[in-house]
Amino acid sequence: METAEPATSVPSTQEVTAERLKRFFHVLWEPRSYLTAVYFLTAFPLGLTYFVVLVLGSMVGAVTSIVVVGILILLVTIAAAWLFAVFERELAIWLLNAKIPPLSLPEDEILTPWQLLRRHLQRPTTWRSLAFLLVKLPFGLFATWLAIAMLGPSLFGILLPLGDLLSYGPRPETLGAAILPGIPGVLGLTVSFHVLNYVGKLWGRFAADMLGVSAEQHQVWEAKRRAELADQSRRELIMNVSHELRTPIATIQAHLDSLLLPAPDRPEADEVERRLRVTARETRRLSDLIEDLLMLARADAHELKVTTRAVEVAPLVDQVAQSMTPLAKQERRVTLNKDEAPAGTWAMADPDRLAQVLTNLVRNAINYTPEGGVVSLHVAEAGDRVQIGVADTGIGIEPDDLAHIFERFYRTDSSRARNSGGFGLGLSIARELVEAMGGTLTASSQPGLGSTFWITLNEAAPPQA
Ligand code: ADP
């Protein structure tokens, strides 16, 4: 098979110029530019409000602090400063797209109001955010006037002739007079947006330093939160595993006990055989559960071994379809179809793991499709991705369940009712495996009509012969 060399072309001078012009003018249609302008235009009135409230509040509070009213005024001022800081943080995030850590981290214990106040006053962020609010006045003075000085004339240049055009209509003698101030207007607006965006970015970084907890504090908190989540998921895992073990072990125990009864009480030979079969089936289920749990433990410890290489998709899909046909045909009376996969489609995957995932999806599709239904396998190429789809005409999955089916131990009510035999681990393992191969596993469904699962993998170049 031939492999196509990627075409490399040098862009022409016109293309380079067009690209530069596009990059220069793109600020005109970027919402961010207009949001930054709003931030700048409101900076002065906001800065002035903070300054007046905080300075007046603390001065009046300090002077009258010998009486209770003074203490109250000081407390209200502290609360106002905190509210202003919260508001400013949100404003910088929404209008300047600043990445700001939280203003404070949640407390581990329940505190009295007095303890809360003491902690609040001891936090460096409290004082940093206060400084920010006070600095906002001089910054606002500069920023609001900068925005007015830069945007005002440009907008005037654009809007005035536009107004003339709208009121008198496009007449040839007025067209020139309309376009002439319009061009510098648009240029001025573009330059103004570039300047405002640049200053906005710098101010956003300053806001991030002043209005959020320090990066180290945030990291420590995140690590603690992750450890707590891991601990909780370990506890849930133990609960789920114990719960899942209980039924099969009780079944095995009851059946074995009945076989060990004294000879006269023992069941007939047929019944003995049936009970032994049930015991064998339950033991197999338990051993599958242990395999699944080991696999998940490896995934959690980042030890899930997948060795990806270029894999031709069509033969692998064929092989899975062939191995699942007996289950579909004889046991479930479901038709298993397979589209002719596009020849020469190669994906980056671990062939054994991919076959395992595909087998799991096809087995689910067959199990959740009533007699007479159809399960079909598709292969498609989408850009540099390869998709393998498993679609069925089965019972489908309700939207509420669809959001959870990839979670560990999750089974829908209909699957519990059918006692499908699974533990709700198959799809979570399948997703871990596909993601370890650099791909994604997604599902869509229409309740009552069927479901489709898509494995999406990176396309690979076929190996050179
Ligand atoms: P199980 O081993 O219990 O089937 P899975 O993790 O493979 O566990 O699937 C989780 C749940 O998703 C199943 O219990 C079932 O309710 C639902 N499910 C999976 N595949 C399908 C399908 N093709 N059609 C309908 N429901 C499905």
Summarize pLDDT for 286-295 with one digit per residue, the tens.
Answer: 998 899 899 8
Q: Which of 358, 361, 364 to mutate to test the pocket of ligand 1 (most atoms within 8 A of CB)?
A: 364
Residue 362 Cβ < 6 Å to ligand 1:
no
Query: How many whole angstroms from 442 Cα to the centroid of ligand 1?
Result: 13
pLDDT band, very low/low/confident/very high, at 8 (cuts 50, 70, 90) = very low
| Between 233 and 82, the higher pLDDT residue | 82
Laid out side by side, the sheet with 374-382 consists of 335-338, 374-382, 385-392, 450-458, 440-446
Please give the share of the chain, as a percent, with pLDDT higher than 70.
93
Minimum-distance ligand 1 atom for the alpha carbon of 411: 14
Does residue 71 sit in helix, strand or coil?
A: helix
Give residue for tokens 């829908």. Answer: 412
Q: Whole-number mean pLDDT of the chain?
A: 87
Q: What is the mean pLDDT of residues 234-261?
A: 89
pLDDT band, very low/low/confident/very high, at 5 (cuts 50, 70, 90) = very low
Residue 365 Cβ < 6 Å to ligand 1:
yes
Alpha-carbon torsion, ordered 232, 238, 239, 242, to 10 deg: 180
- Give 411-439 pLDDT, tens digit per residue: 887 776 666 667 889 999 999 999 999 99
Nearest to 148 by CA among 231, 44, 234, 232: 44
Convert 233-268 to b/e letters by CB count within 10 Å (16 or more is b). eeeebeebeeebeeebeebbeebeeeeeeeeeeeee
Q: Ligand 1, atom 19: nearest CA belongs to which residue?
A: 364
Greatest mean pLDDT among 48-52, 205-209, 232-236, 272-276 lies in 48-52
pLDDT band, very low/low/confident/very high, at 344 (cuts 50, 70, 90) = confident
Nearest to 39 by CA among 78, 73, 90, 105: 90
Neighbours of 38 (CB within 10 A): 13
Residue 368 Cβ < 6 Å to ligand 1:
yes
pLDDT computed for residue 422 by the predictor: 78
Residue 424 Cβ < 6 Å to ligand 1:
yes
Query: How many whole angstroms from 424 Cα to the centroid of ligand 1?
Result: 7
Find how far residue 238's CA is from the centre of its chain: 27
- Give 122-153 pLDDT, tens digit per residue: 888 889 999 999 999 999 999 999 999 999 99
CB 365 within 8 A of CB 389: no
Q: How many residues does the chain have?
A: 465
Please give the share of the chain, as a percent, with pLDDT higher than 90.
53
Find how far residue 445's CA is from the centre of its chain: 20
Query: How many whole angstroms from 23 Cα to the centroid of ligand 1?
Result: 49
| Rounded to 5°, angle at Cα 111 from 107 and 112 | 155
- Give 206-217 pLDDT, tens digit per residue: 999 899 887 777
pLDDT band, very low/low/confident/very high, at 316 (cuts 50, 70, 90) = very high
What is the reported pTM?
Answer: 0.57
pLDDT band, very low/low/confident/very high, at 2 (cuts 50, 70, 90) = very low
Does residue 390 sit in helix, strand or coil?
A: strand
Query: How many whole angstroms from 403 Cα to the centroid of ligand 1?
Result: 12
**Residue 305 pLDDT > 80, yes or no?**
yes
| Between 220 and 375, the higher pLDDT residue | 375
Minimum-distance ligand 1 atom for the alpha carbon of 429: 6
pLDDT computed for residue 173 by the predictor: 66
Q: Which of these ranges, 12-16, 81-85, 199-203, has the smallest mean pLDDT?
A: 12-16
Which helix H or strand E contains 219, and what residues bound it? Answer: helix 215-259
Which of the 8 DSSP states describes residue 379?
Answer: E
Pairing of β 440-446 and β 385-392: unpaired
Q: Ligand 1, atom 7: nearest CA belongs to which residue?
A: 426
- Give 40-51 pLDDT, tens digit per residue: 999 999 999 999
- What would the DSSP string read from start to end of 169-213? ---HHHHHHHHHHHHHHHHHHHHHHHHHHHHHHHHHHHHHHHHS-
What the block records as the tokens of 45 is 């009135």
pLDDT computed for residue 230 by the predictor: 83
Minimum-distance ligand 1 atom for the alpha carbon of 392: 23
Residue 412 Cβ < 6 Å to ligand 1:
yes
**Residue 74 pLDDT > 60, yes or no?**
yes
